[in-house]
Structure 1
Amino acid sequence: MKILHIACLVSALWLTGCATVGSPQGDNAPTTSSKAPATPPAAPQAPHTPVFPSGPLQPIALAQATNGEVASLSAPTDLWDRIRRGFAMPDLQHELVPDREQWYASRPDYMQRMTERSSKYLFHIVEELERRGMPTELALLPYIESAFNPQAVSVAKAAGMWQFMPATGTYFDLKQNAFRDDRRDVLASTRAALDYLQKLYNMFGDWHLALAAYNWGEGSVGRAIARNQKAGLGTSYTELNMPAETRMYVPKLQAVKNIVANPEAFKTELPLIENHPYFQTVDITHDIDVSLVASLAGIREEDFRALNPSFNRPVIFAAGTPQILLPWDNAKVFQRNLEARREGQYASWTVWTVPSNMSVAEAAQRAGMSEADLRSVNSIPPRMLIKAGSALMVPRSTTTRQDVSSHLADNGQLAFTPEVVTRRTTVRAGKGETVASIARRYKLTAANVADWNDVRANAAFKVGQQVVVYLPVRPARASSAASRPSVGSKRPAAPPARKGGTPSKVKRR
């Protein structure tokens, strides 16, 4: 074996010598005859200096494993595992946390329903959080806000999974009109919620305070911090004086985080949520009925609305909502069936802008539909007139091809005014009274007075003649006795005024 090694070494040296001697100019000759520039000699490498830890080795926290310092050697097994790896908020140490852990752990049916409902939306939320570099604990926030119900509405009128108040939703460009409410939209509301949470974190520099502000309002948290600073007190989440709901808010999130981190410790079983998208976006180019979308996609209408909960009406206007969400496997089915559809219209409904104040009965007659159907499709309450400029959903004629404009799809509103209740009354005409003078006296139109009495609009009445008019019924003035309904009255008592006018729900966003 030694002889073989020596032979190989001699052969290598001989070949090297041949290569050198084969050069026509030798090693010291200039290389002017070569067209290629000479390769500069490689710089000498600095000797490698190993770095040793100064103290004993410490285990790596989950937060360190997600910040780019440490690469994971295995992919997440499911979405829960992926969420755990992204935990980056400091744990809240508070006596309310074990209390909320016990509350959730003792309600396995509630936890099961809530987590199963979240399976449609969690992947998208986690993707957005990771893209922004935000803690994945925030993906659990809708459990606290709405139990992941996109149709949830609080007593303070906060709506959607992320529970946006109307004004805050408008600030973050969540459209709220007669046809859709983007506070319930999965993509739009998630974008707005994460924008808001980032804004609050940048404002307070602390996730617990940012969450308190999300629930209570940034102004309220700012004032609470200022009061503590003035009194020489601490300004952390646990040290601020805040309402009970906000005091419980972060402990609730911490409790859910602890259960997700270690469900076995709480004897809880989380449903499997696979680590891949549940839905995908699909472009639409025409106004289209919700029922037709569900039919072409091969899904139930309620399943479609679970992914697209912002739509208030039975039709989707492409100019306002050019994309819809469909389950991953059904998106291609919908596109294939839509392309194969060659006849028939896509939308059965369009929008009519009401030219003047009118009754529901009159509007229904003009739209060519029953009053009950008009009320139902437009959610018109009883005893209301439709105000001029309102955008009403009405049947689309079979010859109409024009889709609803983007301005109307984004800004159409329905407004109402109380219907005036009138009573038939007869009055006696004075000397020289005419239809016009009676109309002026009672603030009516001459056309109505003439119509009610079957005379011309320029007719005159005889002295003492009875004239029929319909006058508004004036409600009796409230008195201390009248304000209390008598026994057997169907009129409900007015609710007592709340001191200070503060709503029972803390939401002030």
Structure 2
Amino acid sequence: MCLADAPAPVFALVSAPETTNSAQVTASQAVNLELPADVANFDYTDKTTDLWERVRAGYAIPDLENQLVANQLAWYGTRTEYILRTVQRGSRYLYHVVEELEKRGMPTELALLPFIESAFNPQAISTAKATGMWQFMAATGRDFNLKQTMFKDDRRGVLDSTDAALNYLEKLYGMFGDWQLALAAYNWGEGSVQRAIKKQQALGLPIDFQSLSVHMPNETKNYLPKLQAVKNIIGNPEQFNLALPKLNNQPYFVSVEKTRDIDVRVAAQLAELPMDEFTALNPQFSRPVIAGGSNTKILLPTDNAALFKENLNKWQGPLSSWSAHTVQKTERVEALATKLGLKPEVVREVNFIPAKMMVKAGSTLLVPKSSKTPDHDISLEIAEKAQLVIEKNSTRQVSYKVSKHDNLAGIAKRFRVSVAELKSWNQLKRDSVANGQTLRIQTPVVTRVNQTSILASTRRATAPKIVRHTATPTRNGKTIVANLKATRFK
């Protein structure tokens, strides 16, 4: 498909606006398309031709055999369509995970762990707000250098989250010296496993996974049996009447280092990728523009990276349609939009601000570029530190008795309302008030709201498909809500 014939991708929340003063950017200014050395110089001669064989060859965790494993095998064994959907989704990422495991000398069945955690969906959010393919909670993610900003959440990023998950698993194996216990700790928490070990030791009892399971919640008891079941099925698919698709033993994607801001829709169009495929590889970006410095990477299928470079060299339009605006005082979205010459719904939708919410002073809003806004990239400091804090905008009625020194403007300022509102509430035709006059005022009552929580709730509420493995809940007993098909960008 040539670029000229490609339909223009549309951002699901709000279409990127046209800009009037954006400078043209050349390919050399926008991205670095040099292939990483491990991809450009990759030698396949000593590798198997099927990635599944490579996975099976690296199995190294002792097998677990008990009734719980049998139960999980029975569950998965009758759901071959679910397995194949998960495999198809995971085929984008599996080579990278296996490659990273082998570099570290770690067991390759750990590459199947996202099968259990998220069904290989990097957009998955649990009801406990664990996020991404490897299901990191916010605090744990920060412990492993996964940045969570207004513009991106590295817990969803394929490269960053995989690196963090393997670092965490290595740490846990170093603590316990046993991969089964390390996996239990990944699910249950290292402190919980340590306390269970101490209880067993105090009683002179064994401290292997099966022995410790008497202290575990049901979720953790089933966690390793789930992985064992999937490991068995991938190891011998013919025993379960399953025909696994062949996965080529080669990289699915390459990294593109971005040096200028670029809209998500533009990046997908230049790569000639459907929006759902682009966001499946780049799910960490939370806004319609990819901001940040040269450390911000875009993943593209190898063939599409070449198309991206070719199309970028021909591109005549702006790369980025968005800029950042710092809010100077706490205001309603309608007032902010009027000042910026925008429609309130545009500001709300692109910034995930629900109705009846005010924006707190110091917050950063993403707004369309226009002739009134400077045409430059969002600064690295804003991209890495920007926050959006919103407050519930509710009111209560109070009565105020006017004193002889009062005027409407002063009263409006005191109560954080407008003069027009004061006149409307009190049927005033003039801008003057009399000493002793009683005014009715609708005063705002604000409650600070975590905008990140609202964003997570919005993603869950709009997910087109919900996956619940009712027999075996995920971490902390919470059920994964997985957005299986598409994403915030369509």
TM over 0.5: yes
Do structure 1's residue 159 and structure 2's residue 158 form an aligned pair?
Answer: no
Q: Does 1:197 align with 2:169?
A: yes
1:313 and 2:284 aligned = no
For 2:430 and 2:310, the matched residues in 1 are separated by 65
The equivalent position to 1:259 in structure 2, one of 233, 241, 248, is 233
For residue 130 of structure 1, the aligned residue among 84, 102, 108 is 102
CA apart distance, 1:472 = 5.1
> How many equivalent residue pairs?
403
C-alpha deviations, 1:199-232, integer Å up to 9, x for none? 0000110000000110011111111111111222
Is residue 300 from structure 1 mapped to residue 271 from structure 2 by the alignment? no
Return the alpha-carbon distance in structure 2 between the equivalents of residues 73 and 274 of structure 1. 13
Q: Which moved more, 1:115-124 or 1:410-419?
A: 410-419
Tell me what 1:35 maps to: none
2:263 and 2:340 mapped to 1: Cα distance? 19
Q: Residue by residue, what CA displacement relative to the aligned partner does 1:332-355 show, whole Å, maximum 9, x if unpaired?
A: 1101211232x3311001111111
- 5+ unaligned residues in a row in structure 2: which ranges? 1-43, 448-474, 481-490
Does residue 174 (structure 1) correspond to residue 146 (structure 2)? The answer is yes
Residue in 1 that maps onto 2:434: 461
Contact 1:435 1:450 in 2 (8 A): no
Task: Give the whole-Å Cα distance in 1 for the aligned partners of 2:421 and 2:348.
Answer: 31
SS at match of 1:330: helix
- Structure 1 residue aligned with 2:488: none
Alpha-carbon shift at residue 451 of structure 1 (Å): 5.6
Q: Distance in 2 between matches of 1:378 and 1:416?
A: 11
Equivalence for 1:328:
302
Matching residue of 1:243: 217
- Report which structure shows greater RCO (CA 8 Å, sep ≥6): 2
* Secondary structure of 2:136 counterpart: coil
| Contact residue 246 and residue 506 of structure 1 kept, 8 A | no
Deviation, 1:275, is 0.6
Contact map agreement 1:434 1:461 (CA 8 A) in 2? no
Match of 1:487 in 2: none
What CA distance in whole angstroms lies between the structure 2 residues aligned with 1:155 and 1:450? 41
Partner of residue 213 from structure 1, selected from 185, 190, 199 = 185
1:141 aligns with 2:94: no
Between the aligned partners of 1:506 and 1:106, the Cα distance in structure 2 is 20
The one-letter amino acid paired with 2:174 is N
Q: How does 1:47-446 map to 2 (within 5 A)?
A: 75-240=47-212, 241-319=215-293, 322-341=296-315, 343-397=316-370, 400-423=374-397, 433-435=404-406, 444=415
Superposition CA RMSD, Å: 2.9
What percent identity do the matched residue pairs reach?
48
Q: Which is greater in Rg?
A: 1
Q: Contact between 2:257 and 2:295, CA under 8 Å: does it hold in 1?
A: no
- Residues 86 and 136, structure 1, Cα contact 8 Å, conserved in 2: yes
2:395 and 2:442 in contact (8 A); partners too: no
1:96 Cα deviation after fit = 1.0
Q: Tell me if the contact between 2:409 and 2:419 (Cα under 8 Å) persists in the aligned partners.
A: no
Cα 1:224/1:450, change in 2 over 3 Å = closer
Q: How many angstroms apart in 1 are the aligned matches of 2:114 and 2:418?
A: 58
Tell me the alpha carbon deviations over residues 56-82 of structure 1, each in whole angstroms, 9 at most, x when there is no partner: xxxxxxxxxxxxxxxx99741300000
Instruction: Note if contact 2:391-2:446 (Cα within 8 Å) is conserved in structure 1.
Output: no
| 1:94 positional shift | 2.1
C-alpha contact (below 8 Å) 2:416/2:443 kept by paired residues: no
Query: For residues 417 and 271 of structure 2, what CA distance do their matches in structure 1 show?
Result: 57
CA contact (8 A) 1:435 1:449 kept: no
Q: Distance in 2 between matches of 1:271 and 1:114?
A: 12
Please report how far the alpha carbon of residue 195 of structure 1 lies from its aligned counterpart in structure 2 after TM superposition: 0.3
Does the 8 A contact of 2:408 with 2:419 survive in 1?
A: no
Give the Cα separation in 2 of the matches to 1:301 and 1:384: 30
Structure 1 residues 474 and 362, CA gap change in structure 2 (3 angstroms): closer
Contact 1:144/1:253 (CA < 8 Å) preserved in 2? yes
Instruction: Decide whether the 8 Å contact of 2:258 with 2:293 is kept in 1.
Output: no
Q: Deviations over 1:106-127 (max 9, x none)?
A: 1011011011111000000000
Q: C-alpha separation between the residues in 1 aligned to 2:179 and 2:197?
A: 15
2: distance between equivalents of 1:332 and 1:197? 35
Contact 1:421–1:472, Cα closer than 8 Å, also in 2: yes
Question: What residue identity is the alignment partner of 1:435?
Answer: D
Deviation, structure 1 residue 98: 1.5
Contact kept? 1:439, 1:449, Cα under 8 Å: no
Instruction: Pick from 429, 432, 442 the counterpart of residue 470 of structure 1.
Output: 442
User: Do the aligned partners of residues 428 and 174 (structure 1) sit closer, same or farther apart at CA in structure 2, a change above 3 Å counting?
Assistant: closer
Distance verdict in 2 for CA 1:153–1:320, change over 3 Å: farther
Structure 1 alignment gaps of length 5 or more: 1-71, 476-501
Partner SS, residue 394 of structure 2: coil
Cα–Cα, structure 1 residues 443 and 367, in superposed 2: closer, same or farther, change >3 Å?
Answer: closer
**Letter of the structure 2 residue corresponding to residue 338 of structure 1:** L
